[in-house]
Amino acid sequence: MTESPATDLLPVLLARWEARAFLQNALESAARDRLADELAAEELEIFIEQQLITEQTELLLEFFWTLEAVGCQHPDRMATWIERHNGLMTRLRAELDPPAGPEQRHPGPQQKRKLWRLQSAHFSAKARSACCARLNGSVLVLSLKDLERFMALHMDPTLCRDRLDALVRVMLLEDKLQPNLRLFSSTANLIALVTATLKLLRQNLEPSDDTKP
């Protein structure tokens, strides 16, 4: 029997699953350490399962780590990242809503919702300037609206706020309230957790001594 062409990809998937399990276990431990005295047992379980250990929460963790890794604490780096983001949103809108033609169909409700989300994800010149002005080169700070724009492809604003709240509660993010503004910044714990997860993934993807040629 010949092996499937995808057999050599199986270790990649298994490594990904193991890294994700590591991250989820760490998130659960953080919740129990921080909130065991604050929430009733059932409330804590619901918080962990429905708010904390979710795909959207993991995405936010990875997003903050990525921005830190590429130096978006610096205004010029953030400006470049926003331009990249805006370019992607513009391309996706064009693909979803091409110029009118004789055979073009009217967009359905789902397509209209997606177009609206892509439009709302765009950083105007004013929004970009405000985002970059909050950065001083040492601390990555993003407003709630910044994060809603960046996450528009992956979650709606309500879900984004919910997942951010969860990360603040377990002290992986810090938040600060200002008049008409809520700011978020990553913590050392967040950076350490995502770094450890990625190192585990890389380790599991490296060939073992038994498999090296």
- Phi and psi for 71 in degrees, rounded to 5? 85, 30
Instruction: Give 122: exposed, middle or buried? Use CB within 10 Å, 0-12, 13-18, 19+.
Output: middle
From edge to edge, which strands make up the β-sheet containing 181-186? 141-143, 181-186, 173-178
SS3 100: coil
Per-residue pLDDT of the chain (213 residues; tens, 9 = 90+): 455 667 788 989 999 999 999 999 999 999 999 999 999 999 999 999 999 999 999 999 999 999 999 999 999 999 999 999 999 999 988 888 765 555 556 666 777 777 888 888 999 999 999 999 999 999 999 999 999 999 998 999 999 999 999 999 999 999 999 888 999 999 999 999 999 999 999 999 987 655 554
SS3 174: strand
SS3 4: coil
Q: Which amino acid is at 103?
A: E
Give the other-Cβ count within 10 Å of 133's Cβ. Answer: 10
